[in-house]
Amino acid sequence: MNKSWRTYLLWFAQEHTEFRFAEIKSLLSLLKIEMKFIEEPKDIEPYWIVQFNSESDVKLLASRSVSLRNCLELWAHAKTIPDLHNKLKNYPINSLKPYFQPNKSFKIEVETFCRHFTQKEKVNKLETFDYLPLCGPVNLNNPDITLQYIEYYGTRANDPPELPYDVFFGRWVSSGLRQLIKKLSLKTRKFIGNTSMDAQLSLLMANQAKIKVGDIVLDPFVGSGSLLVAAAQFGGYVLGTDIDYLMLHGRTRPSRIKQKVREQDESIRANMQQYNLGHRYLDVLVNDFSVPFWKDEFKFDAIITDPPYGIREATEKIGTTKQNYKVKEEHLSTHVPAKIDYGISNIYRDLLLFAAKHLKVGGCVVCWFPVFREDYNEKCLPSHPCFTLTGNCEQGLSKVTSRRLLTFEKIREPTAEELQFFESEISDFRERYYIAREETRKDRRMKEAKTRQENREKYEKTNNN
């Protein structure tokens, strides 16, 4: 059977641009949707021109994507305004008839990207479409049909061109899930910590993990639980573990500037209840991730996490440097275990070993990985033979550092050997970070000393003259 492909315009929010392809790719796989590119997309441009087999597929994709602003059925696209009008005038009239009916209300929106126009100027642009056979009533609040005209002036807001690079006209089909970012904002959340993941990145991670209704999802470095909120929002039943007892019990120092002490009911559970997701919250447990905890046969559908890097939060596990150390029986009830450093290479090795054993085939591990930009190459990323890397997106942290959002999909069950210790070439980000910071401080001190010396010599020369 031949498929009737129709052309659509996907218009994205112009933030976290490198994440959009990984999110859409994951959602197409999760929702079993086919999509074809008409033009190869560019990261700097906020739109894709694509084809779908059905409008229901477009709406389904938009219902999950937080990168998408909206989707249009594209009726005309051109590099100049006159060409757009010519193409629109030649568009098959039979395709337009279902939308241009006397009983169907409509409105036309004019949008300009990266250039501002007054409302009067926008109305003038709108009136150039007076040749369209619109015969229904105008309804600006709740129309049956919304048409959109878009002028794209590039991405240089401070120096836009006189004429647009691209112009588009089409019928609005659906909006993305952008409103969820505001709903889950950390600004209004009951319980947060110093490293709480913001709502948009949390939702992107949940989408890249392909979480669906009924999935069991784990965050083994749960912190304040931001990723659990996002996973539960998409139907997952969520579990979290962390070695930080005080954080899980809401007893750490408050993160908000004006807050002196934490409220009694601050907790991850309170966050879930705040968003009416309490029925999807299983529990959070105090646990050292380096120590086996789960039954061998227990399986998760997805793992999403942001392991500590040793900068803003410690990388620790239970242990001691003392030889043959034992706690006396009378002290066991009040004993607080000692902790030692849990290096980044060990964290990511353990994470993939754990996932190889406890993740279902087809499930995803989505995690952040810190890097120094000048040292980065894919060989430095964690890996395991049971997983394929399906997503690798960068978020800049500073001029020299960034973190990459990695998505691993499990392709098969491990052999007995693949569940054992394996060598890792991952460099120690924390050690590299502090060495680089000390080098930066030394360079700054040397520059300051040189400047003082030059000023002193200039002063002495002036006085001698």
Tell me the per-residue pLDDT of 319-336, one tens digit each, with 9 for 90 and over: 777 767 777 777 666 666
**422 pLDDT band (50/70/90 cuts)?**
low
Cα–Cα nearest to 211, from 26, 352, 73, 33: 26
Is residue 78 within 8 A of residue 167, CB to CB? The reply is yes
What does the pLDDT read at residue 453? 81
pLDDT band at 439 (very low <50, low <70, confident <90, very high): low
Q: How far is CA 438 from CA 292, 363, 384, 397, 434, in A?
A: 37, 41, 34, 18, 6
DSSP 64: T
3-state SS of the chain: helix, strand, coil percent to 5?
A: 35, 25, 40
Let me know: does 419 contact 412? Beta carbons within 8 Å. no
State the DSSP string of 260-297. Answer: -S--TT-SHHHHHHHTT-GGGEEEEEE--TTS--S-TT
Highest mean pLDDT among 101-105, 342-346, 452-456: 101-105
Q: Looking at residue 364, what is its pLDDT?
A: 98
State both tokens at 83.
């060409």
Handedness of CA 209, 214, 218, 224 (dihedral sign): positive
Work out the percent of the chain whose per-residue pLDDT is above 90. Answer: 67
**pLDDT per residue over 209-265, tens digit each?**
999 999 999 999 999 999 999 999 999 999 999 999 899 988 888 988 888 889 989
Q: Give, in order, the Cα–Cα distances in Å from 103 to each of 100, 147, 182, 325, 371.
A: 9, 16, 36, 83, 59
Choose the weakest-confidence range: 21-25, 273-277, 400-404.
400-404
Looking at the chain, the whole-number percentage of residues with pLDDT higher than 70 is 95
Instruction: Tell me the average pLDDT across 51-59.
Output: 96
Say if residues 386 and 356 touch (Cβ distance below 8 Å): yes
- Letter string b/e over residues 233-262, b meaning 16 or more CB atoms within 10 A of that residue's CB: bbebbbbbbbbbeebbebebebeeeeeeeb
Is pLDDT at 2 greater than 60 in this prediction?
A: no
Q: What is the mean pLDDT of residues 69-77?
A: 97
pLDDT band at 384 (very low <50, low <70, confident <90, very high): very high
Domain boundaries, the chain: 6-177, 182-433
The overall average pLDDT reported for the chain is 90
User: Please, what CATH class does the domain formed by 182-433 belong to?
Assistant: alpha beta
Q: What is the pLDDT of residues 249-271, one digit of tens each?
A: 888 889 888 888 899 899 999 99
Q: Is the dihedral of CA 12, 14, 19, 21 positive or negative?
A: positive
Give the mean pLDDT of 415-440: 73
Task: Assess whether pLDDT exceeds 90 at residue 188.
Answer: yes
For the domain made up of 6-177, the CATH class stated in words is: alpha beta
Q: What distance in Å separates the CA atoms of residue 193 and residue 129, rounded to the nearest whole number?
A: 52
Q: State the DSSP code for 159.
A: S
Mean pLDDT of 411-427: 81
Report the amino acid identity of residue 5: W
Write the CA distances from 390 to 60, 208, 343, 409, integer angstroms.
Answer: 22, 9, 25, 7
Q: Which tops the pLDDT comparison, 272 or 433? A: 272
Q: Is 367 a residue whose pLDDT tops 90? A: yes
pLDDT (average), residues 348-371: 96
Q: What pLDDT shows up at residue 423?
A: 62
Q: Same fold for the domain at 6-177 and the one at 182-433?
A: no
Q: Starting at the edge strand that comes first in sequence, how are the strands of the sheet with 68-78 ordered?
A: 35-37, 47-52, 6-12, 68-78, 166-175, 145-152, 106-113
The most confident of 353-362, 368-377, 440-449, by mean pLDDT: 353-362
C-alpha to C-alpha distance for 10 and 390, rounded to whole angstroms: 22
Q: Per DSSP, which regions of 14-93 are E strands?
A: 35-37, 47-52, 68-78
> Which pLDDT score is estimated for 126?
93
Those residues whose C-beta lies under 8 Å from the C-beta of residue 335, and which sit 6 or more positions away, are 327
According to the model, what pLDDT value does residue 1 have?
40
Amino acid type, 66: V
Rounded to an integer, what distance in angstroms lies between the CA atom of residue 308 and that of residue 314?
7
Q: What is the pTM of this model?
A: 0.90
